[in-house]
Each structure stands twice: as structure tokens, then as C-alpha cells.
Amino acid sequence: MKKNIEPKLKIELSALSKQNLGEVWNFLKKHEKTSIALFSHLIENNKACLPKEQFRYFLVYQNNEKTKNLLAVFMISKSGLIFHQFADNLKILEDADIAPFEDILKNKNIYSIIGKKEGTEFFQNLILKIQALAPRTEYFYHYLRYNKNEKKTEGRTFPLEYAKLLKWNTIDDLDALSPLQALYDQQEVIPPFKDFDPVLSKANLKRLLLTQKMLSLQKDGFYIAKAGTNAIGYNWVQIGGVCTKTDERNRGYAQFLVQNLISYFQKNEKKQVALFVKENNESAKKAYYNLGFVFDSYFKIVYY
């Protein structure tokens, strides 16, 4: 008769609290480059703070007799989004005890998992084992970070008219920017099995205008291109929502906006810049590489 073999790695999960906030802050600050969105909810006026109620954070420890090592931090939002950041050695979790995850995940409606590829696949396997669910859609991304020494367009000058069209956006631009946001959501965000919701799209745009930075180009009274931040961290910002009106593409508008965002954050806030690009979007990757972005890591987003 075979004996039950205990997992090699015993795991302990702890909810985020005032007592362990400093530990989480230090962990995410160390890994901030690839956890900007996760970290951003714990920052207020560049200081540590507890997140809003809709975001639940958990610490994943390796639990042995002598010490507890923090292996990962993950967040589950009220809407079922999982963001995660693991320490460098993810292989240590391959034979981990999954029982501590069951109480948190067994009755949770998971909508999406977002993060570095290996971490997303770890949570995919957890959901498969605990809920017997597999993702309906998977997207693969290259995560790029800006390095001015890699810039290949130093000599390029954009037409002077571009600067005249440039505008920092506010909540007053909500209605006028909504068509561009809708285009972006339908082409880049909404999974194929889900219907586009214009009310939700506009609500998300409103949140971005109130909490993030957004630049746009306006021509003949209409917005033709936009780019902004998805998350603002301590030392890093994540650019996202880059979109150009279909009939205005291939004129360098997106590059111009991203270049201005980079300049603003590096000069005014002394922050580094990163962004996602779909793995198969060769034209976008080329444009970002020309601006000075370099490959950092593989990311994966799955939808249920």
C-alpha cells in the first residue's frame, strides 16, 4: 500500500494587513518593474497605504520550521481579476501544497489572470485543480521597458503640427474621448466571447481620467489618437490605452504620444517607463523598439 507523500513545500497564506504592509511594500518595490499595477494600489502620495476594499491582497509564504520566506504577493479584485508577482524562483512552487489556496479560490468567480507568464500559468493550474476550469481565451505579450540608450529615432522630427494638436486630458474630455476608448477596448481588451459594453467602457475611461495621466491629439474638433498610463507606481509607470483612429494610422501619432509621456515622467517625476505589446503585433513592437524600449519578460493574460 502506497503512503501519502506530503508536498515538498508547505505554503501559508496571509491576508494583507497593517502589520505586514511594510513587508509587502518592500517585496513589490524590489519587483516593481513587473508589478506596477499590483504595487500602485498600495501607494498614496508616494507612501505605503492599504488598498481599497475591492482589492484583496495575499502573501504567499514558504512555511518551514525555522523561517517564513515570502514567495509571492497576489491580489484578487471584486470583479475577479488576479494580479500576481512571484519571487525570482517560481520552480520552488511546482510541488507546493495547494490546500491554502482552496479556501480563497474555490468559490471565487475568476474573470482574468494577469502577470508574468510563469505566474499566470501557476494560477491557471490552481484554478484547473480547484474549480476544474480552463481559460476560454489566452493572450501572450512582450513586456517592454524603456532604455534611452537603445533609442533608434534620435534624429526623427515629428511635424510641428503634432505639437499643436497635443493635449493633456481631464475629466471634461470624457464624452469626446469615449469613441477612441471604445475602439481600443473592442480591438485590444474585450475577449472574443464577451460583448462590448459601452457603459463599462466609459466608466473605465472616467476612472483613467480621474486617476491616471492621458495625452491625446485633437484634429478638427475630434480626438484622433490617445495614450496614457494604466498604473503609476513608486519608481515606474505603465503606459497603456494607446490607440489611433483607424483612418489616421501609420502617421507616427502613437509614437509621438508615447515619446511625450516618456519625456514627462522621466523629467518631471523621475520615473521609469514600461508597457505591454501583443507578442504577434510586429508593427507595434518595431515602433516601440525604435523609441528605445527593450524586451524585459513574457507576460500572459487569460480570460474565463
Q: What is the CATH number of the domain that holds 149?
A: 3.40.630.30
Closest CA to 207 of 222, 227, 229: 229
Asked, for residue 283, whether it belongs to a domain, the answer is yes
Q: Are residues 102 and 177 in the same domain?
A: no
Spatial CB neighbours of 214, under 8 Å, sequence gap ≥ 6: 168, 169, 177, 208, 226, 227, 228, 229, 241
Asked, for residue 269, whether it belongs to a domain, the answer is yes
Q: Are residues 42 and 63 in the same domain?
A: yes
Q: Give the domain-ending residue among 100, 134, 168.
A: 134
Q: Are residues 77 and 211 in the same domain?
A: no
Q: Are residues 231 and 192 in the same domain?
A: yes
Spatial CB neighbours of 272, under 8 Å, sequence gap ≥ 6: 33, 145, 146, 235, 236, 237, 265, 266
Please give the DSSP secondary-structure letter assigned to residue 92. Answer: G
Tell me the pTM.
0.91
Q: Are residues 127 and 156 in the same domain?
A: no
Q: Give the domain-ending residue among 134, 160, 186.
A: 134
Grid cell in block for residue 102: 482552496
Distance CA 208, CA 247 (A): 25
Q: Are residues 154 and 291 in the same domain?
A: yes
Asked, for residue 3, whether it belongs to a domain, the answer is no
Q: Are residues 282 and 149 in the same domain?
A: yes
Domain count across the chain: 2
Q: Are residues 194 and 256 in the same domain?
A: yes
- Please list the residues that pair with 9 across neighbouring strands: 96
* Structural domain of 77: 11-134
Q: Give the domain-ending residue among 134, 169, 193.
A: 134
Grid cell in block for residue 66: 525555522
Q: pLDDT in tens for each of the 304 residues of the chain? A: 555 555 568 889 999 999 999 999 999 999 999 999 999 999 999 999 999 989 999 999 988 767 788 999 999 999 999 999 999 778 778 888 889 999 899 999 999 999 999 999 999 999 999 999 999 999 999 999 999 887 765 545 788 889 999 999 999 999 999 999 999 999 999 999 999 999 999 999 999 999 999 999 999 999 999 999 999 999 999 999 999 999 999 999 999 999 999 999 999 999 999 999 999 999 999 999 999 999 999 999 999 9
